[in-house]
Amino acid sequence: MPTASISLRDVGRTFGATRALAGVGLDLKPGVTGLLGPNGAGKTTLLRLLATALPPSQGQVSVLGLDPQVPAERTGIRRQLGYQPQEVGFPRGFTAFAFVDYIALLKEWTEPAARHAEVRRVLGLVGLSHLGAKRIRAMSGGQRRRVALAQALLGSPPVLILDEPTTGVDPEQRVVLRAVLAEIARTSVVVLSTHQTEDVAALCERVIVLDRGRVRYDGPVTDLTAQAAGRVWLADQPDPAASVSWRTGTGRYRNVGTRVRDGVEHVEPSLEDAYLLLRGGAAEDEPAEEVTS
Amino acid sequence: MTTALAPARPAAGAGRATFAALAARETRRFALNPVFLAAAGLTAYILWSGQRGTVTDINGPNTAAAVLFGGVGMLVAFWLTRSMSASEPVVGVTPVTLPVRTAALCAVALVPFACGCLTLLAFLHFYPIGDPVYGAFSPPARIAVLVGQIVVPSLGGPLLGVALGRWVRFPGAAFVLFLLLSGWVILVMALTLARPDSAPVAVLRLSAPFALFTLHLDAGVTAWRGSPWFFLGWQLALCAIAVLVALLRGVEGRLRSRIIRALGIAGAAAVILLLLAGTGGFTHAVTT
């Protein structure tokens, strides 16, 4: 059984006077870990730290037992890493195949036949086999996201860091990608950030909720969902006692909150309910925390 | 799902093979760039059309080769270097470090360098070295003049483009630099016409990465002062500086210190070679 792992000890990251991450401590093993949090919570910063794209301002990061602060060890990590950033630009004139092939070359796939076979394989995994010869700039947003994911999957890396991999991807492809990631996660550490709680519920064994750069929750998805049991109810009107309410497709209102009145119609909570409950119903993005010391 | 999920991973430590493959990839991208192909075609046409008439001045074809291989090569190398910048979030976390990618990009200069060598051979075929159009220079010095005007600018232009691409984000930076260098060459030429025997003016003339050594007038061919051999050295020192400046981007640790030290040495050598180029050779303009 592989023992691929990542550990963070008291990791912090600041950008000037803004604290993006503070006191983060995590141990990640093979499996899919979902990262939830509002915009500005520090998810992308955390993923960039794990992907060796950014050094921490404090604390220690270890990926597969290697220290990303040491150049030689950082290269060692990168040999075993797949990373899909939130935003990827593509060079002008490149086809999907040419771009993934170029990245494969940078990942040291020097033997052309093996490299081309691998590029075809990962394009197949993301459902782009038939579009390999199409220029990326002529592709839809969802197809571009899948090209970005394809390059991350090259070599089935032991560590796979994905920043909002399913944004803009259609439902059928999302189901396919979930299956691909679940398969890879049998041997690899997969960390994905997303705003799609249904992806986390369907795919992740573990979820981490970030809030103003700090870990607010870290544990099984089922445990987080269970925290909302008895705190989600339906009503004909928005309940003032609820932290958050919204109109559902049936015309009734779904209420989530800790102050539950007697006699309300309870319903089965979802991960989204639990996440909103944890957040206290806050709808705003997180304000960046100022460094005071 | 029918696609296999367990590929054979590449062996770690494949540094040299990766560099060679990457350099080959970038070289192919450079050589197939339509702008560069057009420049190469135009150079060939200029050489071919020039040899049909009576040649009285070597500067025309030489300048065309320098501009088309060196100047256009600089533009293309700049575009090539900047082309992956949008993908840096992905490219930047691969095992191939930025200095290695830069070195692979520098290898593309071999394409225009080879074109420059071929142009030199064609030039010598059309205008034999004993021809009076070369002025008062000795036969070896005539070769040095041609190498400094055709071959080395073809090598140095693209290297400058890579260095610029590594440090400057402005998309028109290479074109602006091309105009500035062209302006500098024209300005120092004008100064030379006014003060052909002045040593400081000769140093200024040769401070440009491309310089003329002769002028054809009705009275004959005038060979200006300055040493073509030391000028070659100055140009090669500039090439080395361009490579080192390009490599400096993203390098860390001991290698960074070494590159900075090498830059100091190359800079000092460049200054000495420029002074020797300006003060060596003929001590005054010679008309034959």
Give pLDDT, residue B20.
Answer: 95
Q: Which residue of A has its CA nearest to B33?
A: A93
Q: How far is B49 from chain A (nearest CA, A)?
A: 34
Residue B12: list chain A partners with CB under 8 A. Answer: 76, 79, 108
Structure confidence at residue B16 (pLDDT) = 86
Average pLDDT across chain B, whole number:
89
* Rounded alpha-carbon distances, angstroms, from residue B243 to A223, A286, B165, B239, B263: 57, 45, 12, 6, 9
B97-116: average pLDDT? 96
More confident residue, A259 or A271: A271
Quick one: pLDDT band at residue B128, thresholds 50, 70, 90?
A: confident
CB contact under 8 A, A92 and B83: yes
| Cβ <8 Å between B7 and A88 | no
Q: Of the ranges A88-102, A250-264, B192-206, which one carries the lowest mean pLDDT score?
A: A250-264
ipTM, two decimals: 0.85
Q: How confident is the model at residue B270 (pLDDT cuts 50, 70, 90)?
A: very high
HEC secondary structure over chain B: CCCCCCCCCCCCCCHHHHHHHHHHHHHHHHHCCHHHHHHHHHHHHHHHHHCCCCCCCCHHHHHHHHHHHHHHHHHHHHHHHHHCHHHHHHHCCCCCCHHHHHHHHHHHHHHHHHHHHHHHHHHHHHCCCCCHHHCCCCHHHHHHHHHHHHHHHHHHHHHHHHHHHHHCCCCCHHHHHHHHHHHHHHHHHHHHHHCCCCHHHHHHHHHCCCCCCEEEECCEEEECCECHHHHHHHHHHHHHHHHHHHHHCCCCCHHHHHHHHHHHHHHHHHHHHHHHHHHCEECCCEEC
Per-residue pLDDT, A263: 80
Residues of B in contact with A75 (CB under 8 A): 95, 97
Q: How confident is the model at residue B13 (pLDDT cuts 50, 70, 90)?
A: low
Q: Among B3, B14, B90, whose Cβ lies nearest the Cβ of A151? A: B90
- Inter-chain CB pairs, A–B, below 8 Å: 102
Reply yes or no on whether the pLDDT at B3 is more than 50.
no
Residue A89 has its nearest CB partner, among B5, B86, B96, at B86
Nearest to B20 by CA among B96, B75, B84, B82: B96
| Interatomic CA distance for residues B75 and A51, integer angstroms | 33
* pLDDT value at A276 more than 70: yes
Rounded to whole angstroms, the Cα distance separating B150 from A20 reads: 54
Locate the chain A residue with the closest alpha carbon to B21: A110
Query: What pTM was computed for the model?
Result: 0.88
A78/B22 CB distance under 8 A: no
Contact B18 A110 (CB under 8 A): yes
| Facing B87 at nearest CB: one of A90, A110, A125 | A90
pLDDT band at A2 (very low <50, low <70, confident <90, very high): very low
pLDDT of A240 reads: 87
Chain B residues touching chain A at CB-CB below 8 Å: 1, 3-12, 14, 17-18, 20-22, 25, 83-97, 101, 252-253
Across chain A, what does the average pLDDT equal? 90
- Does B114 score more than 70 pLDDT? yes
- Contact list in B for residue A118 (CB cut-off 8 A) is 7
Range with the poorest average pLDDT among A230-244, B110-124, B162-176: A230-244
Look up residue B18 and give its amino acid: T
A55-66: burial string, b at 16+ Cβ within 10 Å, e else: ebbebebbbbeb
Contact B96 A53 (CB under 8 A): no
CB contact under 8 A, A106 and B101: yes
pLDDT > 70 in chain B, percent: 92
Domains of chain A, CATH where assigned:
1-80+157-220 (3.40.50.300), 90-155 (no CATH), 227-282 (no CATH)
The pLDDT, as a whole number, for residue B180 is: 96
Give the other-Cβ count within 10 Å of A281's Cβ: 14
H/E stretch holding A177: helix A171-184
Region of poorest pLDDT, from A111-120, A191-200, A275-284, B61-70: A275-284
Q: B131 or B41: which carries more pLDDT confidence?
A: B41
Q: What is the pLDDT of residues B163-183, one digit of tens each?
A: 999 999 999 999 999 999 999
Contact B8 A83 (CB under 8 A): no
- Does A125 contact B3 at a Cβ distance shorter than 8 Å? yes
Q: What is the mean pLDDT of residues A53-67?
A: 95
pLDDT at B2 over 60: no
- Most B-contacting residue of A79, A102, A108 (CB-CB within 10 A), to test interface: A108
- Top residue of B22, B93, B169 to mutate, by most chain A CBs within 10 Å, is B93
Domain boundaries, chain B: 17-287
